[in-house]
Amino acid sequence: MRRAGVLLHVSSLPSEGPIGDLGPAAYGFLDFLAASGCKLWQILPLNPTDHGHSPYGSPSGFAGNPDLLSVQALADAGLVQPGPVPVRHGHVDWDAVKLWKRPLLRTAARALVAREPEALDHWRAEQPWADDWGLYAALDEQHGSWWTWPDEALRHRDPEALERARGRHEAAIQEHLALQLLFDRQWAALKWAAGERGIQILGDMPLFVSGGGCDTWAHRALFDLDGEGRPRNVAGAPPDAFSAEGQLWGNPVYAWDAHRADGFTWWRARVARVLQHTDRVRIDHFRGLQATWTIPAHAGSALEGAWREVPGGDLLEVLPRERLFAEDLGTITPEVLALRARSGLPGMKVLQFAFGEGATHAYLPHTYDGPGWVVYTGTHDNDTCRGWYAGAPEHARDRYRRYTARDGSDVAWDLIRLAWASVANDAVAQMQDVLDLGSTARMNTPGTTGSNWSWRVSDVPWWVSGRLAELSEAYGR
């Protein structure tokens, strides 16, 4: 089945308040997609963000991000009285999220604990990751990453220390888990509404997790850590189209022998959790399932890393591959291509990368060897199409103009048309490209900090739904 869709993270929705959420604007966006002939909604990871607000450095591979909860829905459920809502700006207001929204969320969580203790106990019993997350979250808000916790026995998960800590922090644990129950409820309602409109939600799963997060604390044997729990080696990427110096992500690499020895239990649980919230999932940095760019933890640069092969093929054998696709970008070798081919996962084509070389470039639509691809105008790590064109070398701009027989004045929609017209089963455009925005609307610039992850759409853009619908109809999507 041929489908088209839009990439827009929940935090970027035009919700009332300081951040996009799971409330009315999300349902309005679903209506926009349906009116546009779009059957896909691509999102970014739904996990809690790191201190730089990135959803790709989460302290949990299982928990949902409470910041995305709809305060309006909580108020409608009688769990909170929000009072005046902060003025909505053209970006995520992280200060207001911290100072206005999070206290309201905790109030709602306490109300749920008091009102529905049995429902919370039932949900808690069904989520094997929940108890570890609840205690970790309670301690994290007091002490930060688990490496810095003052109680050594607790850092090393001494059973008696864990029991004492759970007793001391039970109220906070219940509040954190109530937030997770509320997240699951609100997201389940939104996912159901998407299904009613014939829309699939495409999720995204980072390959790695945070070194100081809950997963490494709860499952130390599954990661390459020293005796104190700190990484011996970390993951990153060599120089590529995103960064001339490579990328030093700092996430611990996996102890793959341990994962394989227990049948990849943690991985299977993690993927199952992501698939509770989505219809299909993109494995971010799929390339790392063939070999990981492994950097000594003490290194000052990604250039000091080297490729280390991993048993990704064995892992993929035990995962529901029919619901996965691969972000197979970066330094791709024949071995990576062979792994993806054996696994049967669709791969990605990014049109912004297609025009730097000649007529045989693998991302040019006429070269696609069949429908088993997901084609994007650009991803969250790319500039917008208009920004790309403004900054691209002239030879790439010239190839684009000659390939499309266009003059560059409507570059975003030229690339949207190319994606929709391609043989690929799935075609996705960033919302920024649907709106024909410039570089100031970029979601993320890899290797930088500061203004990333904060862009928001100002309103649901009904005025372009007809243009998208026309393309979807014309190209059988």
- pLDDT for 240: 75
- Contacts of residues 143-148 at CB distance under 8 Å and 24 or more positions apart, as own/partner, are 144/212, 145/59, 145/210, 145/211, 145/212, 145/213, 146/212, 146/213, 146/214, 146/216, 146/217, 146/229, 147/211, 147/212, 147/228, 147/229, 147/230, 148/212
- pLDDT for 242: 67
At 144, list the tokens. Answer: 């930060």
* Domain CATH code at residue 186: 3.20.20.80
| Nearest C-alpha neighbor of 32 from the set 443, 435, 436 | 435
d(CA 386, CA 65): 31
Residue 146: exposure state from Cβ atoms within 10 A (0-12, 13-18, ≥19): buried
Q: Give the model confidence (pLDDT) of 326-352 as tens digits.
A: 999 887 899 999 999 999 999 999 999
Would you please indicate which residues are annotated as catalytic (active-site) residues? 284, 327, 381
Sheet strands side by side (includes 247-252): 247-252, 233-237, 291-296, 306-309
Q: Give the model confidence (pLDDT) of 244-292 as tens digits.
A: 788 888 999 999 999 999 999 999 999 999 999 999 999 999 999 999 9
| Nearest C-alpha neighbor of 458 from the set 25, 6, 65 | 25
pTM attached to this predicted model: 0.96
Q: Give the model confidence (pLDDT) of 129-149 as tens digits.
A: 999 999 999 999 988 889 999
> Which residues constitute the domain of residue 45?
3-474
Could you tell me which residues are beta bridge partners of residue 70?
Answer: none
Ramachandran bin of 303, using left for φ above 0, alpha for ψ from -120 to 50, beta for the remaining angles: alpha
Please count the structural domains in the chain: 1
Asked whether the predicted pLDDT for residue 311 surpasses 90, the reply is yes
